[in-house]
Chain A
Amino acid sequence: MKRLFFFAALLCLALAGPAHAVEPSERLADPALEARAEAIGSTLRCLVCQNESIEESNAALAHDLRMLIRRHLAAGDSDREVVDFLVHRYGLFVLLDPPFMPVTYLLWLGPPLLVLGAGGVLLLRARRRSDVPAPPALSAAEDARAASLLGES
């Protein structure tokens, strides 16, 4: 399967040529609708490419998906409905922005838990040994030397 993807990706790279991403002919006349389409497209993976969203990719599949999104939006579907339709068709793999669900709990909760956990441990440890004495006050002679070293003489 992985190998298949690799070859598909290679094919995609080889055939693609230097054209890039969204073509003028694909764009919707209504700028608000087009903006929604682009926002959706940039969170969907081009399935035959390597780590490109369908907005960035020039593969034929990406073109088809862009057109599909625009058709659905023009027909009055909500963003959610369009995305759900594509997930239903291609699986979770199509989402560059993985949803919050049991299999991704660790993915989404990992970073905040790590910061809070490590930060908490550090704070506890710091509290335990925060008995750092304040530096003693300087004598007049030391003050004078400090001033001269600082160039205030």
Chain B
Amino acid sequence: MLVEIGHFALILAFLVAAVQGVVPLVGAQARSRALMETARPAALLQLGLITLAFAVFAHAHITSDFSVLNVYENSSREQPLIYRITGVWGSHEGSMLLWVLMLALYGGGVALFARALPQSLRARTLAIQGLLCCGTLAFILFTSNPFARLLPAPPDGRALNPLLQDPGLAFHPPFLYFGYVGFSITYSFAIAGLLEGRITAAWARWMRPWMLLAWCSLTIGIAAGSHWAYYVLGWGGWWYWDPVENASFMPWLLGTALLHSAAVVEKREALQRWTVLLAILTFGMSLVGTFLVRSGIITSVHSFALDPSRGIFILVLIATVIGGALILYAVRAPAIAPGNPFAPISREGALVFNNLILSAGMATVFLGTFYPLFAQVWSGVKLSVGPPYFDATFLPLMTPAVAAMVLGPVLAWRRGDLVGTVRRLSPALLGAIVVTLAVRAAVGPAPFWALGGIALASWAMLGVIVDLADRAGLFRTSPATAWRRLSRLPRSSYGCALGHFGVGVLIAGIAVTTAWRSEQIVTVHPGQKVEIAGRTLVFDGVTEENVANYREQRAKVVVERNGAPVMTLTPERRFYPIAGSATTHTAIVTNGLADLYLALGDPDGHGGWVLRAYFNPLVPWIWFGAAIAALGGLVSLSDRRLRLKLPARRSAPAVAPHPPTPRDLSRGDPTAEPG
């Protein structure tokens, strides 16, 4: 009964979404307040209905109601509670339900919190969001019904894929989806803006909090997914250029570009058309990502199910969402007022460069991911495109962008002074050279790219610090003045600083761990010792035990330094009898600067076991970097101008960038804080 209520709620949500997608649009066109006002209650009602459906579905999973086909296929009685919960989105149907819940959440969020929006813009934004929900709900209801029954109910289920029975899985998909789907709202804002025929600084500011939320969430999701792969796959890799990783990386790249180009719209009213196009393509990439994962047309570890009817449905959905938007763009974009001019060397110019590189990077990832498919269709040649291709194309592409990333926030808007900027940042440049030379002196010969990575990383990190110190006037004024200036800097500049600093940390982690990781892969017998990175590992045998829904083989390895034991690590293997498969549970110990990583391999049949030991220096910095960048997004999200009502529209934005140029000060109102 409960399950049917969930199903009906979903059908009702589909109908409400259809109303939400049509009536406010008509209202906005006919300038009817009453019709436009339907958007908010419809968005909230729809959110309520989808939440109800999701709750019912989750309830069926948690209570192991095997009369629901999806529960039978993805859960079992012995599964611990946490994996009965995460199993809710561990299947295709469940993850689509989560996806549409996120869509409705963003719609509901705009309906509730975006009060400052003009009525017509809000009505149109919510209507587009409603149409997106409508399409997704149709997909769920017609091709992937999560509430399909299985009668009579079997006594036990087939259990969740053991690879997915892991705490990492509990958190990374919801974050990923919240990020992916978050770009639906920027898409809706873009379409609404096109329909309005006006893309202004205010438009960019209204869009900004939602965009930041989506971006932070996607960043966290990708980092968490990468960390999950790192500890679950058992050989210390952390990024595989797998199609599914690429699927989340492509919207991230475009989303990052969008974040920056929207800043130009907000501050300078330039790049409006490009920003709208970017918003459309970013969500397009989120959809393509979904398609990639669901359809099975590209082989990947993550594919849920091969079902042509689903693939075709999603293909039509993508074609409609992207194609429709692009047609609208072609018709309406010329009507958007051209942006304010700027010189090539300026903050705008730097942000355009950033957009160029990030978009080209996205195109590269896209090309590499889909090329095997294209090549086979066009010429019948079966090709593979793997990590060597991405390393050879993507990394060199990103290098100039990171180098320029430091200059961007220091350049003035409109017309910047490159020489002066580099001079202001010269301590960072000097510092980066010193750090690189010091590393070279400390470790001896090193690959060129590793030193390049270190130089780039230190330039990025030091650049942020030098810029902040420079803005505060450190060493030029009294410490009290410097402190006052720092505390007056708007949160968004701290967000930018943290974001860029995080990139530096990330690059340092990647360069160092790739260049200097060490490994020992050996067959060991109890009592045997293995040396790695100045540590001695003493293998103490393997014990077997039945735990919950799996059988566990647990090795005991004592780590010794200078002859004294410091800790005991227990890498495990788990065998899941219901699923008939096994997983590795690595033992990782970190001190923030390096990981000692142990994975247990197969027994050799004569009392010996394969032990894989890795020492990965600076690998935690990869995730620290991503976390710092995401934190930057959150700090930026808390900026006061996003919480305050927007002042009346002006011909030019009065909000000054920092450091405020004299011209901005002469024009802005004296009460406004810079930024």
Binding site for B on A (CB under 8 A): 3, 5-6, 9, 13-14, 17-25, 27, 42-43, 45, 50-51, 53, 56, 91-98, 103-104, 106-108, 110-111, 114-115, 118-119, 122-123, 126-127, 129-132, 134-136, 138, 142-143, 145-146, 149-152
A149:B665 contact, CB within 8 angstroms? yes
Residues 383-402 of chain B, each 1 if its beta carbon lies under 8 Å from chain A, else 0? 11111110011100100000
Nearest CB to that of A50 among chain B residues? B299
B240 adjacent to chain A (CB < 8 Å)? yes
Q: In the bound complex, how far is the Cα of B523 from the Cα of A17, in angstroms? A: 17
Closest chain B CB from A23 CB (angstroms): 6
Q: In the bound complex, how far is the Cα of B485 from the Cα of A51, in angstroms? A: 52
Q: 4 closest A-B pairs (Cβ-Cβ)?
A: A96-B386, A97-B388, A18-B584, A19-B602
Q: In the bound complex, how far is the Cα of B364 from the Cα of A18, in angstroms? A: 33
B388:A24 contact, CB within 8 angstroms? no
Residue B602 contacts which of A17, A51, A94, A122 (CB distance < 8 angstroms)? Answer: A17
A93:B382 contact, CB within 8 angstroms? yes
A43:B388 contact, CB within 8 angstroms? yes
B48 adjacent to chain A (CB < 8 Å)? no
Known: A93-B384, A107-B371, A132-B414. 7 other contacts (CB 8 A): A27-B521, A96-B387, A97-B388, A107-B385, A114-B363, A132-B342, A146-B660
Nearest CB to that of A110 among chain B residues? B367
Closest chain B CB from A32 CB (angstroms): 16
Q: How many residues of B are counted as interface, with CB atoms below 8 angstroms from the partner's CB atoms?
A: 78
Given the known interface contacts A96-B386, A98-B383, A111-B360, the answer about A23 and B299 at a Cβ–Cβ threshold of 8 Å is no
Most buried by A among B359, B387, B573, B674: B387
Given the known interface contacts A132-B343, A149-B660, A151-B481, the answer about A45 and B357 at a Cβ–Cβ threshold of 8 Å is no
Residues 295-327 of chain B, each 1 if its beta carbon lies under 8 Å from chain A, else 0? 010011101001000000000000000000000
Query: Which B residues are CB-close (under 8 A) to A114?
Result: 360, 363-364
Query: Which A residues are CB-close (under 8 A) to B600?
Result: 18
Closest chain A CB from B501 CB (angstroms): 24
User: Total contacts A to B, CB within 8 angstroms?
Assistant: 184
A145:B665 contact, CB within 8 angstroms? yes
A115:B352 contact, CB within 8 angstroms? no
Given the known interface contacts A96-B384, A149-B665, the answer about A51 and B341 at a Cβ–Cβ threshold of 8 Å is no
Closest chain A CB from B214 CB (angstroms): 25
B580 adjacent to chain A (CB < 8 Å)? yes
Nearest CB to that of A129 among chain B residues? B341
Query: Which A residues are CB-close (under 8 A) to B234?
Result: 18, 20
B368 adjacent to chain A (CB < 8 Å)? yes
B522 adjacent to chain A (CB < 8 Å)? yes
B581:A14 contact, CB within 8 angstroms? yes
Given the known interface contacts A14-B580, A45-B386, the answer about A51 and B240 at a Cβ–Cβ threshold of 8 Å is yes
